[in-house]
């Protein structure tokens, strides 16, 4: 399914079995948390993130900036023991409307672990075949993935450079 950045694999974030299935299909590190996509700030509490923690991202949202926040009360299947969660409000109205209806979703790039992300539905189908319930075709997407930052009150650290340029602070 396309987002505002690249094609991704997604499921409802609060469905433990769906998240476990997605992790198995992707074949990724069991300790690595996925990104949670939200339609609005009110959904942050659904995934255990305190709204004020996303303040450094607000000027870029909706958009292609992901922020890692403390998630002390998030379900274990979301934070994978890290007690943090990466969250983003995508700049894709169709996707935000879907998330508003079904609740926060998990998103991870449409690829097998260690492979380059799929840039089209056809490329995704080569990776996953009939293991997924459905595919959404929006043509070829040649965008950068989201920038991921970890921000605290005193500093901003770029964890993964991407679509948004951020200056780190110390």
Can you tell me the distance from the alpha carbon of 56 to that of 75, in angstroms, rounded to the nearest whole number?
Answer: 24
Range of the domain at 43: 8-159
Task: Please give the C-alpha separations between residue 115 and each of 27, 28, 49, 109, in angstroms, as whole numbers.
Answer: 11, 11, 30, 10
Taking alpha carbons only, the member of 92, 91, 97, 136 closest to residue 118 is 136
pLDDT digit string, tens, across residues 59-87: 899 999 999 998 889 998 998 888 899 99
Residue 32: the pLDDT is 79
Stretch 100-129: mean pLDDT, rounded? 91
Can you tell me the distance from the alpha carbon of 38 to that of 82, in angstroms, rounded to the nearest whole number?
Answer: 20
Query: Is 144 within the bounds of a domain?
Result: yes
pTM value is 0.91
Query: Is 2 within the bounds of a domain?
Result: no
Q: pLDDT-derived band of residue 88, with 50, 70 and 90 as boundaries? A: very high
Contact between 62 and 40 (Cβ < 8 Å)? no
Residue 51: the pLDDT is 80
Stretch 104-126: mean pLDDT, rounded? 90
Query: Is 29 within the bounds of a domain?
Result: yes
Query: Is 108 within the bounds of a domain?
Result: yes
Longest dimension (CA), the chain: 47
Query: Is 33 within the bounds of a domain?
Result: yes
CATH number at residue 91: 3.90.870.10
Can you tell me the distance from the alpha carbon of 132 to that of 79, in angstroms, rounded to the nearest whole number?
Answer: 23
Query: Is 130 within the bounds of a domain?
Result: yes
What backbone torsions phi and psi does residue 3 show, to the nearest 5 degrees?
-115, -150
Residue 29: the pLDDT is 75
pLDDT digit string, tens, across residues 130-170: 999 999 999 999 888 899 999 876 778 899 988 888 876 65
**In the predicted structure, residue 91 carries a pLDDT above the cut 90:** yes
């Amino acid at each position: 399914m396309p987002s505002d950045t690249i094609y991704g694999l997604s499921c409802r974030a609060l469905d433990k079995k769906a998240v476990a299935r997605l992790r198995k299909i992707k074949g990724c590190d069991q300790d690595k948390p996925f990104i949670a996509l939200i339609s609005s700030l009110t959904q942050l509490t659904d995934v255990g993130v305190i709204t004020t923690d996303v303040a450094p991202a607000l000027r870029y949202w909706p958009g292609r900036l992901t922020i890692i926040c403390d998630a002390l009360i998030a379900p274990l299947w979301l934070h994978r023991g890290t007690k943090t969660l990466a969250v983003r409000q995508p700049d894709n109205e169709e996707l935000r409307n879907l998330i508003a209806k079904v609740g926060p979703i998990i998103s991870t790039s449409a690829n097998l672990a260690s492979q380059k992300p799929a840039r089209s539905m056809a490329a995704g189908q080569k990776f996953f075949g009939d293991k997924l319930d459905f595919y959404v075709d929006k043509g070829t997407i040649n965008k950068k993935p989201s920038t991921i930052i970890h921000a605290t009150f005193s500093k901003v650290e770029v964890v993964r450079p991407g679509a948004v340029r951020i200056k780190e602070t110390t």
